[in-house]
Structure 1
């Protein structure tokens, strides 16, 4: 845990734990349902494994997380104290999407976008069997350009290499454009009409695609009509 603020204020005491770099984002991932180390890494692709281990150890020591080990399966599970941080994370996210400025290019990450999309699939809306969605981002380096989302049996998986299955639909566009759709800054119809995103495949699947995802939990947050 970081150095003390030397204040009795409960905000100060809470921030002694939570304001260290990446800590609250680790909590965000745990609140979102990630439990295994590799799941947490995929939700925090720019965080080093050693720092993630350190932050998890701090959260365990603080009683926010419990480490469960069954054989080779290690999971990090929120305690009651950890679950009580959910409204804190949600309030911060809602405030951030309302009041923090535009995204910089360095904020755009296809790994995080696809990981977030995979856990927000509306499986009841996706056709039965295996459905593969190919995403191609035309404005990123070649090694990050192509991604596949494989949806089957109530589960979804993200692949950065062709899984070899037939593709149902292909989504092509700018990374920024799809991030803006995901965040609710731009609607699917606006993105499609403006050419920011194109969807190719059978017409019924093209039309259905937007309904396969529930979008980010912050997409529906009302935005201010003018600066404060």
Structure 2
């Protein structure tokens, strides 16, 4: 596992990170850039920046399983820019064996609201009765009256580093070794790409400003939406066309 954050940065534990910057309701800014560019930018981080460390490890192996209907309701809500939309996924931390069912909704002023339920990792590729009961009330408000219609649609895997930015009280994540697999078994991998995401209460963070100075601007990208569009080019994807052309065209 090859990490990008400087090893000289101090560590922060998960409990302290959540105490200082839980940010369950937040503004997210995402950047897609070559891994080499991300490494150069992160090398100049403020030395007070801290890196999430769990059981001595600073990089975590993540796997997400996204659920959608046969007609791809969740995907189409995002692709067509619906103001209110949802993503339902399991998020598994493969290093520790922890897993959660997460329901993300997009509300007013582009704020993301995320709620989650502890989940059995052995069931991460299915919706259990408990999972359906957890998601049903919110999904019903969004027009999906039967969550049992949701099936595993896309799996993403990547290595994540998480940064605490004390100057702004914000977080940033750096995802590398990116890979996708759809329900039909089709795959793509992007080993030379990085996705950097800043998470703040509103104002731009230190990492945002560093990326801007290096010529990188926020991208319209979604691991679920962009990945599924890359694997299924017949789907409507205008929202992500720029990122698809620039970064996904030569995926393996």
Same fold (TM over 0.5): no
Please identify which structure carries the higher strand content: 2
Question: Larger relative contact order (C-alpha < 8 A, sep ≥ 6)?
Answer: 2
TM-score scaled by length of structure 2: 0.29
Please identify which structure carries the higher helix content: 1
TM-score scaled by length of structure 1: 0.31
